[in-house]
Amino acid sequence: MAEHYSSFERGGRRWLFQRLTAVFLIGVLAFHFMLLHFVNHAADITFMGTQARMSQVGYFATMWLFLVTATFHGVNGVYNALVNQGLTGSRKNAVKYLLLAAGVLLVLQGTRVSLAMTNLV
C-alpha cells in the first residue's frame, strides 16, 4: 500500500476545501493582478475608479468571494503548516481558535471595506 504523503488528515474536509479554494483562487488572483497592475496601474488607482468597479454586482461578488476563499485558504494553510511542524495538544487548540478568530475578523473587516467601496447598498 502506498504511503500517505499528505500532511492533511485522511478524509478530512479541510483538505478538500483547501483544494477547491485553490482552483478558484488560481483564476481570481491572476485576474486581480492583471486588472490592477497591467490594465489599471496601481499608481493610478483612485477611490472613484475603485467605486466604479465595486459597484458592478458581478465584480463585487467576485471580490467578496476572493476575500473569503483567500482568507480560508491562507489561514487553513498556516494551521496545516504548524500542525505539520509538530503542533499538538492544547497549543494546537489555542492556535486553531486564534487563527479562526483572525480569519473571521479579516472577513468582517474586508466586508466592511468592500461595502464602503460600493454604491450598491
Q: By the criterion CB under 8 A, which residues form the site for other proteins?
A: 3-5, 7, 9-10, 19, 22-23, 25-26, 29-30, 33, 37-38, 41-43, 45-48, 50-51, 67, 70-71, 74-75, 77-78, 81, 85, 102, 106, 109-110, 112-113, 116-117
User: What distance in Å separates the CA atoms of residue 65 and residue 21, rounded to the nearest whole number?
Assistant: 10
Nearer to other proteins, 46 or 90 (CB): 46
75 C-beta neighbours (distance < 10 Å), count:
20
Closer residue to other proteins in complex, CB, 19/91:
19
The least distance separating other proteins from the CB of residue 109, rounded to whole angstroms, comes to: 6
The residue among 30 and 61 lying less far from other proteins, judged by its C-beta, is 30
Q: Is 59 exposed, middle or buried (0-12, 13-18, 19+ CB in 10 A)?
A: middle
Q: How far is the CB of 88 from other proteins (least distance, A)?
A: 13
**Shortest gap between Cβ of 99 and other proteins (angstroms)?**
10
Matching residue, cell 488528515: 9
Rounded alpha-carbon distances, angstroms, from residue 50 to 102, 108, 118: 26, 19, 8
Nearer to other proteins, 4 or 89 (CB): 4
Backbone angles phi, psi at 63, to 5 degrees: -65, -35
